[in-house]
Structure 1
Amino acid sequence: MRRYITALMLACCIGGYGQEKKQVTFVPPFDFPLTLSGNFGEIRSNHFHGGLDFKTGGVIGKPVRALADGYISRIRVTNGSGYVLDVCYHNGYSTINRHLSGFVSPIAERVEKLQYEEENWEVEIVPEPGEYPVKGGQQIAWSGNTGYSFGPHLHLDVFETESGDYIDPMPFFQSKIKDTRAPKADGILFFPQLGKGVVDGKQENKTILPNSERPVEAWGVIGVGIKAYDYMDGVNNHYGVYSVVLTVDGNEIFRSTVDRFSQEENRMINSWTYGQYMKSFIDPGNTLRLLKASNDNRGLVTIDEERDYQFLYTLKDAFGNTSKYSFTVRGRKQPIEPLNHREKYYFTWNKTNYLQEPGLNLVVPKGMLYDDVPLNYQVKADSGAVAFTYQLNDKAVPLHAACELCIGLRRKPIADTTKYYVARITPKGGKYSVGGKYEDGYMKASIRELGTYTVAIDTIPPEIIPVNKNQWGRNGKIVYRLKDQGAGIASYRGTIDGKYALFGRPNIVKSYWECTLDPKRVKKGGKHTVEFTVTDYCGNETVARESFVW
């Protein structure tokens, strides 16, 4: 993505497309009234929601329009975002249109041709600048429900072409959307800092209801956070909150303004949020620009006087609708137990950290942690296991980027080392693969969080399940469902009557692999044989053969 944006910046600069952005206006992506199912910056797993989700009335196939004059800069089919179309506009902005149901001609034909040439559902085309020019209001695609999508909609990202920053598209369409409803808070969360503060006599997080009249007693250094959502007229969805301001005794302590972020900043959402709570303080390793602390302690508050401290949250959406929530923290002097932890298992955010134990090696480079982490490290042994189970920490700690974890094998019951993988153990005892490769007695894998890991074996091939086979001919579509209990599905390939057939995952939420029958490639009016081959990441393979009439 970063390489593509760099090339796009260069192309736009060569074309002389820079203009004063304050004068920019956009044509709406649709010619019907606009309503949203998602807004910019909503809290998502490991990332911010990068754009606006426009509703399409519960149906697919609505014409999607270019927002201004420009050109098609990138064309993709992906599992995650479905059919995707990027547009570079001459006004200094670019967009990404996701979850489309299809492209318009001649792009649609070019994509299909490439899919068959590469024998792959997922393809990418980066046209020459100006190869596919567009005018504002011109149809460029069809809306859909492809990729990781829970219903028909258009996801529209807008980013500055020069900087690559994702920006809030709302100002461009604000006049077309009605919103008179203010954000609402669902809860307040207190974060007593370990070894430095207590809340109601404990060094544990504590939640209260918004506008609670009962004071919370505290002493020392604490942080607070708020769980809140925005709402709009005429719809039941809830959205992220554009602006959060915290004041204590009338003085601003913290402010968040969700108006832009870079791809490099995206995972920093894991530092700013705690579940659905937005923290009103900044971890020392978090450089997210949309967060601003106004005191000298990153937004943390020191309660060091036996008096009442008046806290006030002001929530505002992009339309200026505002709500306020107040609560009282009563300073009461009470003992604070110091943090006692072995230095060997204490990771600090501003240096490279090493964890080297028998059968385990982990390196966490500087810049991967957002705050210091006192690890709750344990080793769990099972006499029959191929490796120990290593609890790096009892609670997951997100890393800013992938770090290499090496786990040694205690024994090798299977000689073929491609059958081994590193497994992440969930809090409920389940496991899933994070990949890995065998090297010199160790399994090496990249991990994105500190948690619990071990090594597992997968010798069981995937399961291929035909879905409504008796309807294939009538519906003109072959549908399979796949299951794999170990390393996960790595690849698949289908043929019909010995010729390559284009299978894909139009919607990965439904977990179906589909092939739409094309009379240009499969002759109608007879019996046909489909062969579908599926391979998992440990090289286990299953081949299914079925006959159908079409």
Structure 2
Amino acid sequence: MRHLLWFILLLAPLAHAQEQPRFGLPFDFPMLLSANFGELRPNHFHGGLDIKTQGTTGHPVHAVADGYVSRISVSPSGYGNALYVTHPSGYTSVYGHLDSFSPALARYVREQQYRQESFSVNLFPDSTLFRVREGDVIARSGNTGSSGGPHLHLEIRRTDTNEMVDPMPFYMSHLRDTRRPLSRGVMLYARPGEGVINGSARKQVFQWAQGGRSLTRRVEAWGTIGVAIRANDYMTGTTNVYGVRSVRLLVDSVEVFRSLTDRVAFDENRAINGFIDYDTYQRTRALYAKSYLLPGSRLRLTQSDDPGRGWVRIDEERDYRFTYELEDAFGNRSIYAFTVHGRPQPVPEAQRTGNELLRWDAVNTVTRPGMQLVIPRGMLYEDVDADVQLIADSSAIAFTYQLADAPVPLHDYCPLRIGVRRMPVADSTKYYIAERSGKSLWYVGGGWKDGWLEGRVRALGTYTVAIDTVAPTIAPLNRNQWSAGRLTFRVGDDRSGIKTYRATVDGRFVLFACNSRYNRLTCNLRETDIERGTMHTLELTVADRCGNVEVWRGRFRY
């Protein structure tokens, strides 16, 4: 008996450590979602739950568990005003797009902003400074940063790895969902040089018929083919569209591919560009998720135990039954199926369309006169047959370089060097690498070194060198409201973009907030100790990324 008791006591801490942690609600009202975890987004998976706030801002946000505030960030873009609370359970909760912080946190943030003389701050308070209990009001909900409307972005991360995990399992009892995922169609691919579909090597879109039990067109194939699916989830009580948590593809009742979007690490986030049909998304904004693995994929949420890694071999004159199983976190499930008829037909040879074959598992160096791009191993998800072109213009500052005839994503930044052929401006800081899209030029950056611009790019696009010698613009707005302490400016820079700004009143730094488009600055003097009832001198200095500076000075009464 004593041995049994000792064994139970020995296992008790282990059992406790494996318990599912519990998280409370961040609001006093029922939870409704506008976005779920893992939704397919440009260059990333959505990392949390977007909780509706009844179309308004300013609702009290409660800590979802005991812990301490471990990080506070303020930024015009991204999460805007955000809080990070670390919990003893081994998780950290993140609250994004906040309107404001609790009074104690707000005082601390403002003090640090004035100390750093910067609106944007990234703070890591000591763990003893801001202890919170579950239910404490830590902020007010908002619409700050890169937000499309009032809501709270709630994340749950593993504290040790900073990995984002799906918060949905912690909130199942607070949500109701009886709606199943739905698919809008599939994309079929013939593997280059190894497969053919309906006599063609091109990828083809097919729509569902008979309630998802077949396709609107007959599919005849031979050789190796792959599939991608366009699908979304839906929830009871909302009209929003969500991501599908679980996808399985079976061929003749044997699983060849599965995906389960329950966790994502930041260093694998951009691998979404190899998971989706990137080319189709860039052209049409339609999201097709591939049901086969690219050789350079590093996503853990996609798996295949099949020797073909999701690619299917059609080598018999018979019918092959493809079945998709889509399931959400609540167990709502949809099944879609179609038949591929195995029919021998000539398999077209793989055709080279480019002049540079870039290998996914090797270091690739692309050079042309006046240009060098180095792509380290692991930056490509598959081999790329790139059509690299030099576009010469004898009067240009530098040649223009097309690195691919269609955008190709890179997993991380890769070094690009472009030589400058003419220097109409002597100041080398005014030159920068720009990405060309149609007639538009987009700032990439780069530094000057011995007649070259050296920068970093995350896509194979079209690049050149541009000059910016034009200072930003500054325009005061609503000056009739300045006497009440509300100061507003519109700022802009249509070339390299705004880098910094700084304002003073009577020679003393004052804090101006910046919006997500970096074109509006606002200051509430009632939150400062600026003397009222007298005239003041305001000076606002705005600099762009090429060092061009504009200064606005003016007098006003407050």
Q: TM (normalized to structure 2)?
A: 0.91
1:300 aligns to what? 311
User: Closer, same or farther in 2 for the Cα pair 1:342/1:234, shift >3 Å?
Assistant: closer
Q: Residues 289 and 263 from structure 1, CA distance in 2 versus in 1: closer, same or farther, beyond 3 angstroms?
A: same
Distance 2:176 2:428 in 1: 59
CA offsets per residue over residues 13-42 of structure 1, 9 Å max, x none?
A: xxx999524331111111110011111011
**Which whole-Å deviations, capped at 9, do the CAs of 1:58-94 have from their partners, x for residues lacking one?**
1211111111111111112122211111111011111
Aligned mate of 1:523, from 522, 531, 551: 531
On the 8 A contact 2:355/2:387 being kept in 1, the answer is no
- Sort the Cα spacing of 1:33 and 1:357 in 2 relative to 1 into closer, same or farther, 3 A: same
Other-structure match for 1:361: 372
CA drift at 1:176: 0.5
2:333 to 313, 317, 322: 322
Where does residue 225 of structure 2 map in the other structure? 222
Q: How does 1:464-479 map to 2 (within 5 A)?
A: 464-474=474-484, 476-479=485-488
> Alpha-carbon deviations, 1:337-357, whole Å to 9, x = none?
323449961011111111122
Which SS does the other structure have where 2:115 is aligned?
Answer: helix
Corresponding residue number in structure 2 for 1:49: 46
Give 1:124 shift: 2.3
Pair 155,222 (structure 1): closer, same or farther in 2 beyond 3 Å = same
Query: Is it true that 1:448 corresponds to 2:458 in the alignment?
Result: yes
CA displacement, residues 273-312 of structure 1 (integer Å, 9 cap, x when unaligned): 1221111111111121110113111111122223322211
CA contact (8 A) 1:487 1:538 kept: yes
In structure 1, what is the equivalent of residue 548 of structure 2? 540
1:460 aligns with 2:470: yes
Match of 1:238 in 2: 241
For residues 119-170 of structure 1, what are the alpha-carbon distances to aligned partners after superposition, in whole Å with 9 as ceiling and x for unaligned?
1001122122233211111111111111111111111110112333210000
1:134 equivalent to 2:101? Answer: no
Tell me the matched-pair count: 532
Secondary structure of 1:518's partner? helix
Q: 1:526: Cα distance to partner? A: 4.0
User: Does the 8 A contact of 1:214 with 1:328 survive in 2?
Assistant: no
Secondary structure at the counterpart of residue 24 of structure 1: coil
CA distance 1:147–1:184, change in 2 (3 Å) = same
Q: Does 1:265 align with 2:276?
A: no
Answer yes or no: is the 8 Å Cα contact 2:207–2:216 preserved in 1. no
Q: Bigger shift: 329-338 or 414-423?
A: 329-338
With 433-442 and 300-309 compared, the bigger mean Cα shift is at 300-309
Q: 1:526 to 1:187 in 2, by over 3 A?
A: farther
Q: Is 1:66 aligned with 2:66?
A: no
SS for the counterpart of 1:297 is coil
Instruction: State the distance in 1 between where 2:332 and 2:529 align.
Output: 56
| Corresponding position: 1:285 with 2:310 | no
Instruction: Determine if the alignment matches structure 1 residue 28 to structure 2 residue 37.
Output: no
**Separation in structure 2 between the aligned mates of residue 160 and residue 18 of structure 1, nearest angstrom:** 19
- Does the C-alpha gap of structure 1 residues 529 and 136 become closer, same or farther in structure 2, counting only changes over 3 Å? same
Report what 2:6 is aligned to.
Answer: none
Q: Which residue of 1 aligns with 2:72?
A: 75
Give the distance between the partners of 2:152 and 2:177, measured in 1 at CA: 20
- What runs of 5+ residues in structure 2 fail to find an aligned partner? 1-12, 282-286
Which residue is equivalent to 2:516?
A: 508
Aligned residue in 2 for 1:85: 83
Over 3 Å counting, the alpha-carbon distance change for 1:37 and 1:472 in structure 2 is farther
Does the C-alpha gap of structure 1 residues 205 and 478 become closer, same or farther in structure 2, counting only changes over 3 Å?
A: farther
CA pair 344-177 structure 1, distance change in 2 beyond 3 A: same
The aligned residue for residue 117 of structure 2 is: 119
SS of the counterpart of 2:200? coil
Cα displacement (A) at 1:486 = 1.2
Query: C-alpha displacement at 1:521, in angstroms?
Result: 2.5
User: How far apart are the structure 2 equivalents of 1:18 and 1:267?
Assistant: 36
Q: In the alignment, which residue of structure 2 is the partner of 1:11?
A: none
Code of the residue aligned with 1:394 in structure 2: it is D
- In structure 2, how many angstroms separate the alpha carbons of the residues matched to 1:104 and 1:455? 46
Deviation string 1:375-402 (CA, Å, 9 cap, x unpaired) is: 1111111222111111110111111111
Structure 2 residue aligned with 1:495: 504
Cα separation, 1, equivalents of 2:381 and 2:508? 52
Structure 1 residues 259 and 386: alpha-carbon distance in aligned structure 2, compared to 1, 3 A threshold:
same
SS across alignment from 1:181: coil
Alpha-carbon distance in structure 2 between the residues aligned to 1:36 and 1:283: 32
The answer to whether the 8 A contact 1:352-1:364 is kept is yes
Give yes or no for contact 2:491–2:518 (8 Å, CA) kept in 1.
no
Amino acid at match of 2:120: E
Instruction: Report the equivalent of 1:406.
Output: 417
In 2, the alpha carbon distance for the partners of 1:494 and 1:374 equals 51
Indicate if the aligned counterparts of 1:19 and 1:91 stay in contact, CA closer than 8 A.
no
Cα 1:296–1:335 change in 2 (3 A) is same
Q: How far has the Cα of 1:535 moved from its partner?
A: 0.8
Q: Distance in 1 between matches of 2:527 and 2:56?
A: 26
- CA apart distance, 1:520: 3.5
**Closer/same/farther in 2, CA of residues 546 and 206 from structure 1, 3 Å limit:** farther
Residue matched to 1:381: 392
**CA root-mean-square deviation:** 2.0
Name the amino acid aligned to 2:529: R
Q: Say if 1:19 and 1:544 are closer, same or farther in 2 by CA, change over 3 A.
A: farther
User: What letter corresponds to residue 544 of structure 2 in structure 1?
Assistant: D
Q: For 1:233 and 1:511, how far apart are their aligned partners in 2?
A: 39
Shift of 1:463: 1.7
Residues 1:308 and 1:539: Cα distance change in structure 2 (over 3 Å): same
Contact 2:354-2:387 within 8 A present in 1 as well: no
Question: Does structure 1 residue 482 correspond to structure 2 residue 491?
Answer: yes
Output the amino acid matched with 2:530: V
Identity between Structure 1 and Structure 2 (%): 47
Partner of 2:147: 149
The letter for the 2-side match of 1:515 is C
State the match for 1:9 in structure 2: none
Structure 2 distance, partners of 1:481, 1:19, is: 55
Is 1:438 matched with 2:448?
yes
Question: Is the CA contact (8 Å cut-off) linking 2:431 and 2:467 kept in structure 1?
Answer: yes
Contact 2:223–2:314 (8 Å) recurs in 1: yes
Q: Unaligned stretches of 5+ in structure 1?
A: 1-15
Name the stretch that deviates more: 301-310 or 507-516: 507-516
Query: Which residue, 397, 406, 416 being the options, matches 2:408?
Result: 397
CA 1:277 to 1:177, structure 2 compared with 1: closer, same or farther past 3 Å? same
Instruction: Supply the AA of the counterpart residue of 2:478.
Output: N
1:516 & 1:227 partners in 2: Cα distance?
A: 47
- Aligned pair partner of 2:191 in 173, 190, 193: 193
- Structure 2: which amino acid aligns with 1:522? I
